[in-house]
Structure 1
Amino acid sequence: MPKILLVEDNEMNRDMLSRRLKRKGYDIVIAVDGAQGLELARSEQPDLILMDMSLPIIDGWEATRTLRADPTSIAAVPVIALTAHAMSGDYERCLAAGCDDYDTKPVELERLLAKIERLLQRVER
């Protein structure tokens, strides 16, 4: 069962999304801020990270850049940005920070699942 690290500070979003992903057969690890997300990315070695971009302590932009600069294998873990930012240029900004894909909130589960599956198929673990 693939392990997904969900980095999300909003309790309602976190609970809803984690329950729905668990029902789809994913093992979910949860972080509530960017600093905890970095710690858990290193210790849990997830197969994929769902990263909220507006986070306390360390935002998702900086957390993703830090992950990508990590000298360990965690630098290669796919990251999907989850953001309420849907302005022109936000997709490009997420990619420039090191995200592999981007999804807007509120999350449309089927669309997000398709992105997750595409990225997991790309990863050899």
Structure 2
Amino acid sequence: MKRNKPLLSILLISSLLFFGSCGPIIIAPDPHAPPPPSWFYPARIESVRYVYFPEYVIYYDLSVRQYLYLENNIWIRVNVLPPRFRSINLRRSKFVRIKGHRSSSIKTYHRENYSNSPRSSRTSRTRGRRG
């Protein structure tokens, strides 16, 4: 048994180093579920259901792989964002991980936390000096 202990230790350490270099681990309830979008790549194990993009008032539900956005005061759930959002690069956009909210309704959470926050008023910037 003593001869196997160093071998077991070496095997354990090498497997930890191997799996540690593979990248982040995402735990999903369904093992056959597709991976999260390419813009969401956590650096650690996280238990998060929603990701919020405050500039565009868009949520992403990681558990059902759907986007949620507000249209005419109604929350719409879609698998793919409509054409008006296609120019958005979500990889470069600021996002907030919503921790602790597990409900399927985002309406109450948004009203309690973000209802008074101003919407983005992004304007195109001109290059060079203004004279």
TM-score by length of 2: 0.28
Bigger-Rg structure (1/2):
2
Return the structure number with greater helix share.
1
TM-score by length of 1: 0.28
